[in-house]
Amino acid sequence: MLTIRDDRQLRSLTGVSDEVLAKLEAEFSKVYQRHQEEAYEEGLKKGTRQRKAGGGRKGVLATMEAKLCLILYYLKTYPSFDVLAEKVQLSRSNAHGQVHKLMPLLSATLAALGYLPARRFETLEDFKTVCEGINSVLIDVTERERSRPTHKAEQKDYYSGKQGYHTIKNTVMASPEKVILFLGQSFAGRHHDYAMFKQEFPAEHNWFETIKAQVDLGYQGIKTDYPDAVTDIPFKKPRKSKKNPNPHLSDEQKDYNRAVSRARIYVEHAIGGMKRFNILVQRFRNRIQGFVDDVIAICAGLWNALLA
């Protein structure tokens, strides 16, 4: 079990403050209890349950706080399962099992508290509900390294020419207050930022007719594909050519670009807030299907919890 002496050490080991931990623990206890009751009932139906509820040897992680701190510690420091097992006095296989048991429960906790960002919008009304009371949204893409795939086709798909290694990408939409409102699905690294955006916000809907979208130069074409959208995108410096040997932006265009950058910086802060959890910073090693997408959503939810 983790030994935590003060709030500073708690933040270093779990990424959250004592106040946020208490709020999470209260809801996490309810979610965990429901999960155990459902597992017990299912075991009775299948005939595999032999003990009464609460029976058997008590585990090393005897309290809700210990369970919650284990999963937060894993997200914050991203140790190998050998290191995690040594830290909390479990076997390696048990440490692995605990992480994959508790991670969905932490996700359910964040969802119950309203901290998880939206993952997809089925209708325009869903989008407007999430953005209620907000005049503008800041959009960018976050990219993180993953282990080199075994198969050649996957190697090509995940390789990012910009970064020079294999990556996973997600679209992030934040408010000016740095709250992550929307987190797109995980795409392989070779996908372009704007192609991801068009897939998640199809052009046939007027997503940004009343809500301004502030984007960077990776979203060239947004004014053409979304003619009714209210958007702020920086001016791109013209290409050098024989007719224009010294291309440059006007002073007015430079001032506009600086204003857009000052407004958009908060989405960078939001992405940086997610990445206080080192599982999004170190090369991602886990191979279980869907886990790579689950962890970034949980980290986004934890960042929103810290802002609340």
Residue spans per domain, the chain: 7-112, 124-307
Q: Is the pLDDT confidence value at 49 over 80?
A: no
Closest CA to 124 of 189, 234, 207: 207
pLDDT reported for residue 118: 96
Compute the residue count for the chain: 308
As a whole number, mean pLDDT of residues 27-43 equals 90
Q: Is the pLDDT confidence value at 70 over 90?
A: yes
Give tens-digit pLDDT for 185-225: 999 999 999 999 999 999 988 899 889 999 999 999 899 99
Q: Where does the pLDDT of residue 58 fall: very low under 50, low under 70, confident under 90, or very high at 90 and above?
A: confident
Name the average pLDDT for the chain: 92
Of residues 169 and 3, more confidence is placed in 169
pLDDT reported for residue 104: 96
As a whole number, mean pLDDT of residues 38-59 equals 78
Residues 6+ apart with CB under 8 A from 97: none
- The three-point CA angle 201-203-205 to 5° equals 80
Q: Where does the pLDDT of residue 48 fall: very low under 50, low under 70, confident under 90, or very high at 90 and above?
A: confident
Closest CA to 118 of 69, 186, 249, 126: 126
Dihedral of the alpha carbons of 160, 268, 127, 191, in degrees to the nearest 10:
-10
Q: Where does the pLDDT of residue 255 fall: very low under 50, low under 70, confident under 90, or very high at 90 and above?
A: very high
pLDDT reported for residue 245: 83
Phi-psi region of 22 (alpha: psi -120 to 50; beta: other; left: phi over 0): alpha
Question: CA 295 to CA 298: how far, in whole Å?
Answer: 5
Q: Is the pLDDT confidence value at 1 over 80?
A: no
State how far the alpha carbon of 286 is from the alpha carbons of 125, 159, 163, 171, 199, in Å. 36, 18, 21, 21, 26
Q: Does the domain at residues 124-307 carry the CATH identifier 3.30.420?
A: yes
Q: Is the pLDDT confidence value at 37 over 90?
A: no
3-state secondary structure 212-264: EEECCHHHCCHHHHCCCCCEECCCCCCCCCCCCCCCCCCHHHHHHHHHHHHHH
Phi-psi region of 69 (alpha: psi -120 to 50; beta: other; left: phi over 0): alpha
As a whole number, mean pLDDT of residues 7-33 equals 95
Q: Is the pLDDT confidence value at 59 over 80?
A: no
